[in-house]
């Protein structure tokens, strides 16, 4: 039996002023699949992620995420979606432990879940230090822990390896990688990494879908042409 549909987007459109950041973009992915989105800066990649994360709304087109229609039922999706971006979403004046306890309370989770998560991302030794003292890589690890703590059904990854050295990238791979069989949407400029992770690849250029294909039908040269 096929896995249920996780995301269906039909003619998704979003404007900034008179410019279409997304222009009638359509795709569908099933639960457990990974969609990787390629495109140059300004292609609409981050706009797409922000719509999926319910941070902004589309202006036209229909969107269903985890069985809920967006934006109408965004409230029913937010607790089931985790977002990891290259910009930290943590509170800099709180400690690492306080950041995760805040998330645990929002999601009605046991506070006992916090310390094991800090250990997994190797921040337990700095758990009571204000986050403003952290390096970019440490903030990225904490942002990952923050997104994963509620065990989201859908994981949205915006340049997930940004600010990470190779050791930190290897540390986080077991939690955000394909082996977890979690539904994912990944935005990346790293073509080799993206194609390695993807089940389905979407190429965006100036807000429009140049192609949407099974990843094994897309070559690195196809992706590189989006950046020219």
Tens of each residue's pLDDT in the chain, 228 residues: 688 999 999 999 999 999 999 999 999 999 999 999 999 999 999 999 999 999 999 999 999 999 999 999 999 999 899 999 877 789 999 999 999 999 999 999 999 999 999 999 999 999 999 999 999 889 999 999 999 999 999 999 998 887 788 888 888 888 888 767 899 999 999 999 999 999 999 999 999 999 999 999 999 999 999 998
Domain limits for position 196 = 5-227
State the pTM of this model: 0.93
Nearest to 224 by CA among 201, 199, 207, 208: 201
Q: How many domains does the chain have?
A: 1
Cα Rg, the chain, nearest whole Å: 17
**Intra-chain end-to-end CA distance of the chain, in Å:** 41
CB 145 within 8 A of CB 126: no
> Residue 184 maps to which CATH number?
3.40.50.300
Q: Which residues lie below 8 Å from residue 143, measured CB to CB, with a gap of 6+?
A: 84, 85, 88, 89, 90
CB 55 within 8 A of CB 74: no
CA dist., res. 104 & res. 193, Å (int) = 31
């Amino acid at each position: 039996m096929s896995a249920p549909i996780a995301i269906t987007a039909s003619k998704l459109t979003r404007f900034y002023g008179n410019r279409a950041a997304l222009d009638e973009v359509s795709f569908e992915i099933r639960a457990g699949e990974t969609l990787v989105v390629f495109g140059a800066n300004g292609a609409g990649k981050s706009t797409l992620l922000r719509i999926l994360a319910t941070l902004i709304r589309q202006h036209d087109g229909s969107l269903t995420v985890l069985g809920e229609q967006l934006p109408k039922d965004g409230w029913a999706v937010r607790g089931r979606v985790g977002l990891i971006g290259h910009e930290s979403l943590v509170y800099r004046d709180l400690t690492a432990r306080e950041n995760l306890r805040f998330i645990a309370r929002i999601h009605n989770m046991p506070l006992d879940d916090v310390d094991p998560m800090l250990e997994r991302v190797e921040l337990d030794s700095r758990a009571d230090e204000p986050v403003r003292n952290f390096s970019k890589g440490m903030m990225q690890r904490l942002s990952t822990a923050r997104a994963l703590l509620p065990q989201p059904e859908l994981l949205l990854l915006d340049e997930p390896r940004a600010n990470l050295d190779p050791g930190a990238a290897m540390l986080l791979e077991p939690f955000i990688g394909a082996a977890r069989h979690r539904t994912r949407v990944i935005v990346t400029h790293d073509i080799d990494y993206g194609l390695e992770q993807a089940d389905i690849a979407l190429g965006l250029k100036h807000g429009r879908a140049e192609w949407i294909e099974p990843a094994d039908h897309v070559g690195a040269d196809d992706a590189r042409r989006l950046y020219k």
